[in-house]
Amino acid sequence: MKVLIVDDEAPARERLRGLLDELDHCVVCGEAATGQEALAGAEQQQPDVLLMDIRMPGMDGLEAARHLLALEQPPAVIFTTAYSDYAIKAFEAHAVDYLLKPVRRERLAEALKNARRLTRVQAAALQSAGDGPAVRQSICVRVRGGLQLVTVSDIRYFHADQKYVTVCTPDTQVLLEETLKSLEQEFADRFIRIHRNALVATQHLAGLDRHADGHFLVRLQGVDTQLEVSRRHLADVRRCIKALPG
């Protein structure tokens, strides 16, 4: 059984490695210190199980688990945590395995024996019960079989075209398998709806122009594309631009 250890603290990783070395049928295939490293490690090493800390800088364990589900063969995930009252209740409620630090050897062996794959529903429920609201720091997309992370603060807009939603940053444009509606709900405090088919990042709004034929278009920092604002959303967009600093 291949195990990937994910924890931002070196002594915590060291201890898990020590415990796992003493267990039969277990091979530590790698270590990761952040959620991003965990995703990369999971893709390259193809572990069977991830032992993953919940509280990590950047992308936390819960968000990393959500992104892992985009893999073709997602690994089983066992969370580790030092102390978090409410999180433990959430874990029990969703029958997801977790280990309390310092981890006991017997308990670790038992958890590995029963390791199960996490489901999408469980992951989403856990994250909303976790430290903050279920708002991701980045969006995970599958590109040619691999995973690519798009940092939410880099995103300029989401644009819906028939079936697909395109996410656009100054560097990339990729397709997403999510609906504009769910994105609007999740990122309500960072993105504003300007049209039936588009959400734009409020922090990157650069201005509003009136086109010759009476339409309004928004400009965004870092991209040349101008997006149409519908009459319905015009007042909201104006208010948003006025509220911008500077």
Which residues are 142's β-sheet partners? 147
Compute the distance between CA of residue 41 and CA of residue 36 in angstroms, rounded to an integer.
9
Among 18, 133, 146, 222, which residue interacts with other proteins (rule: CB under 8 A)? 18
Shortest Å, Cβ 14 to other proteins? 5
Contacts of 188 by beta carbon, 8 Å cutoff, 6+ apart: none
Among 2, 101, 116, 233, which residue interacts with other proteins (rule: CB under 8 A)? 101
Compute the distance between CA of residue 218 and CA of residue 190 in angstroms, rounded to an integer.
16
Q: Which 111-140 residues touch other proteins, going by CB under 8 A? A: 137
Q: Does 42 bind other proteins (CB under 8 A)?
A: no
Q: Which is nearer to other proteins, 38 or 165 (CB)?
A: 38
Q: Does 221 bind other proteins (CB under 8 A)?
A: no
Please give the size of the binding site for other proteins, defined by CB under 8 A. Answer: 22
Question: 164-168 and 205-210 as β-strands: parallel, antiparallel, unpaired?
Answer: unpaired
Instruction: Sheet containing 227-229: give its strands across.
Output: 205-210, 216-220, 227-229
Q: Which of 45, 43, 35 is nearest to 66 (CA)?
A: 35
Q: Does 55 bind other proteins (CB under 8 A)?
A: yes
Compute the distance between CA of residue 149 and CA of residue 42 in angstroms, rounded to an integer.
14
Instruction: Name the segment binding other proteins (CB under 8 A); options: 6-14, 66-74, 112-120, 238-246.
Output: 6-14
Q: Does 12 bind other proteins (CB under 8 A)?
A: yes
Question: Which helix H or strand E contains 243, and what residues bound it?
Answer: helix 231-243
Q: Does 153 bind other proteins (CB under 8 A)?
A: yes
Among 82, 143, 234, 244, which residue interacts with other proteins (rule: CB under 8 A)? 82
Compute the distance between CA of residue 144 and CA of residue 142 in angstroms, rounded to an integer.
6
Q: Does 8 bind other proteins (CB under 8 A)?
A: yes
Q: Does 57 bind other proteins (CB under 8 A)?
A: yes
Q: Which is nearer to other proteins, 5 or 227 (CB)?
A: 5
Compute the distance between CA of residue 141 and CA of residue 45 in angstroms, rounded to an integer.
19
Contact residues for other proteins (CB under 8 A)? 8-12, 14-15, 18, 33-34, 55, 57-58, 82-84, 100-103, 137, 153
